[in-house]
Chain A
């Protein structure tokens, strides 16, 4: 997502490889020097042995090869060589000379390299024969001496490796730390986030490819949390406004009543106090309902008579509707039950119907229908009131929004229904309502929810159940 991103994996691979290469080169140099030194000593020792052997041959094998005649420091690498020289005379091999100390190998000894156990010791033998002169030379070394040499050489190489290992660990540690520094920096900036102002993490700063998706996901989360927080903040501010205004009215009206002369104006003010308490009561009820549908779970969507629920929910406002000379039509498909617990269904119907009664205006026609089809149940409350232009419909969904109207109400009804819709997988839409005599249209509020059960095969539509 930005061109400054680099791969943490690639960077680690590169840096660790470089570190290993560096340490490898260093250890190669050290090993080379050590090996060179060992080889020097070994070859020097061999030179000395060859010289001594030749001297022994020249003197007829009188020198004791197995007695340490050197005494120098380099002789610790001595791997004594035992030798024998045979000559075949008149068909029978005869030992001409042999080194002292090994007691002589018995023939035959195969030409070339071979292994042999001789006097309970393991020997490595080499034999060469000159067919013309019938001479056979056998040389041998004890395996234990060779093993000791290999052990010593190996040990002398192990020491520098052991010394280099901590250096290697330090280097790799440094490399990993360095490679992971952006992760630390990111953690630091997350830690430094102010919970009150969740600003997204800087997306311009270079980050490894592997971390970029994490940061982007984190920023997306921050944004969602910010939106939620902002909504909550706005709700608190709105709720403060909605609660304080009626409280202010109550207090002022009470003070006016207290000061007024008994009679007209005092009666008026006291009446206003009572009206204010009623309004506060309604507001508190609505806020509690909203809190309930925000946090509680719906009653189990057991089968219930939705048509009866529809009727019950409209009842509280039928007197007001009658006062407003409004006509009410109610119609439910038989056996049609939305996948919505009875409690929430009734709350939804009650609020939508109350809105229609309050805002459709006097003399309006209000129609409440519940229709089933295609696996969905649709609750519609429509009227032929003043309606609402499509542009204004969205803003009406905000909590405490009342629209540009003179009617009293706390503006929570639609929010409550919307919340019910969100929590139960339903969809709330505002559409054109019933046509008015003057050619305009009223408002229709529709709640589309999944249907609890498919309707019986013989279910028809219609069966109007008019009231009001």
Chain B
């Protein structure tokens, strides 16, 4: 649930960071193409929100660099250029979606949810495991039909585990997905969130794989 936002415009970048954070994402914001490449080279993101007209390195160049290294992180392009060939070029270079400025924050988050869903090859918009149902759009979780109250981090952690159900997620991978740069992370924060989730959903929901990480069953 961690996004890399690449936008050189200070005002728009600031608004997007606030808006996407409100929507529950951990957002890292960089303002030029080179910084984007540096971030993508070292860390993994749930999705990339990419402006095209960037200083130092153009957005399309960042995109082709990303796809050249077989990175399938979903990419949503933001651009003010409405010419058809611009869109076609962006999509041909490996973008997954395209939004024309100015755009609506709700549409942006909906499209990001769809991108993440498609990236995991999941047909249904909701995530299920046993009697647990998580709806990313409404950010609600039910357990056997009862609504469960989760904090932002607990919800995001559960969603990451559900997205990767059947796979063991390492601590580092989970933390990368949960925290943006600059977020204060206590060393045992992840264990605390896991503990709370188990308390709210049942002890056997999340398995601990000793020395590796955590997993949920598909």
Which of A's residues lie within 8 Å of B, judged by CB?
A: 237, 240-253, 255-256, 259-260, 265, 268-269, 272, 275-276, 279, 404, 408
Residues of chain A contacted by B101 (CB below 8 angstroms): 244-245, 247-248
With contacts A241-B53, A241-B80, A244-B101 known, is A276 near B11, CB below 8 A?
yes
Q: Could you tell me the distance between the alpha carbons of A265 and B17 in the complex, rounded to whole angstroms?
A: 12
Q: Which of B40-48, B102-110, B188-196 contacts A (4 or more CB under 8 A)?
A: B102-110
Contact of B15 among A243, A253, A408 (CB under 8 A): A253
On whether the beta carbons of B102 and A248 are closer than 8 Å, the reply is: yes
Query: Within residues 52 to 68 of chain B, which ones have a CB less than 8 A from any CB in chain A?
Result: 53, 55-56
On whether the beta carbons of B80 and A249 are closer than 8 Å, the reply is: no
Chain B nearest CB from A76 CB (Å) reads 89
Chain B nearest CB from A246 CB (Å) reads 7
Q: Which of A240, A245, A259, A272 has the most CB of B within 10 A?
A: A245
Pairs across A and B, CB under 8 Å, 20 listed: A237-B81, A240-B80, A240-B81, A241-B80, A244-B100, A244-B102, A247-B102, A248-B78, A248-B102, A249-B11, A251-B105, A252-B12, A252-B15, A252-B105, A253-B15, A255-B15, A255-B104, A256-B18, A276-B11, A404-B55
Given contacts A243-B80, A248-B101, A259-B19, 4 further A-B contacts (CB under 8 A): A244-B80, A251-B103, A251-B104, A253-B11
Contact of B16 among A241, A252, A265 (CB under 8 A): A252
Whether a CB of chain A sits under 8 angstroms from the CB of B120 is no
On whether the beta carbons of B105 and A256 are closer than 8 Å, the reply is: yes
Closest 5 pairs between A and B when the two form their complex, measured CB to CB: A252-B15, A249-B12, A248-B102, A244-B80, A248-B101
Q: Which of B15, B53, B83, B101 has the most CB of A within 10 A?
A: B15
On whether the beta carbons of B80 and A256 are closer than 8 Å, the reply is: no
On whether the beta carbons of A241 and B56 are closer than 8 Å, the reply is: no
Residue of A nearest to B53 (CB): A241
Residues of chain B contacted by A260 (CB below 8 angstroms): 18, 22
Q: Could you tell me the distance between the alpha carbons of A157 and B137 in the complex, rounded to whole angstroms?
A: 105
Chain A nearest CB from B101 CB (Å) reads 4
Whether a CB of chain A sits under 8 angstroms from the CB of B204 is no
Residues of chain B contacted by A404 (CB below 8 angstroms): 55-56
Interface residues as binary, B6-24 with A (CB distance below 8 Å gives 1, 0 otherwise): 0001111011101100100
Whether a CB of chain A sits under 8 angstroms from the CB of B146 is no
Query: Within residues 78 to 101 of chain B, which ones have a CB less than 8 A from any CB in chain A?
Result: 78-83, 100-101
Q: Could you tell me the distance between the alpha carbons of A240 and B14 in the complex, rounded to whole angstroms?
A: 21
Q: Could you tell me the distance between the alpha carbons of A349 and B55 in the complex, rounded to whole angstroms?
A: 28
Q: How many A-B pairs with Cβ below 8 Å?
A: 78
Which of B's residues lie within 8 Å of A, judged by CB?
A: 9-12, 14-16, 18-19, 22, 53, 55-56, 78-83, 100-106
Residue of B nearest to A239 (CB): B80
On whether the beta carbons of B82 and A240 are closer than 8 Å, the reply is: yes
Residue of A nearest to B78 (CB): A248
Residues of chain A contacted by B105 (CB below 8 angstroms): 251-252, 255-256
Residues of chain B contacted by A246 (CB below 8 angstroms): 9, 11-12
Contact of B11 among A242, A243, A272 (CB under 8 A): A272
On whether the beta carbons of A253 and B14 are closer than 8 Å, the reply is: yes
On whether the beta carbons of B12 and A269 are closer than 8 Å, the reply is: no
Q: Which of B12, B22, B79 has the most CB of A within 10 A?
A: B12
Residues of chain A contacted by B55 (CB below 8 angstroms): 404
Q: Could you tell me the distance between the alpha carbons of A245 and B81 in the complex, rounded to whole angstroms?
A: 10
With contacts A245-B9, A248-B103 known, is A269 near B15, CB below 8 A?
yes
Residues of chain B contacted by A252 (CB below 8 angstroms): 12, 15-16, 19, 102, 105
Q: Could you tell me the distance between the alpha carbons of A437 and B16 in the complex, rounded to whole angstroms?
A: 40
Residues of chain A contacted by B56 (CB below 8 angstroms): 404
Residue of A nearest to B23 (CB): A259
On whether the beta carbons of B11 and A269 are closer than 8 Å, the reply is: no
Chain A nearest CB from B3 CB (Å) reads 14
Contact of B19 among A237, A245, A256, A268 (CB under 8 A): A256
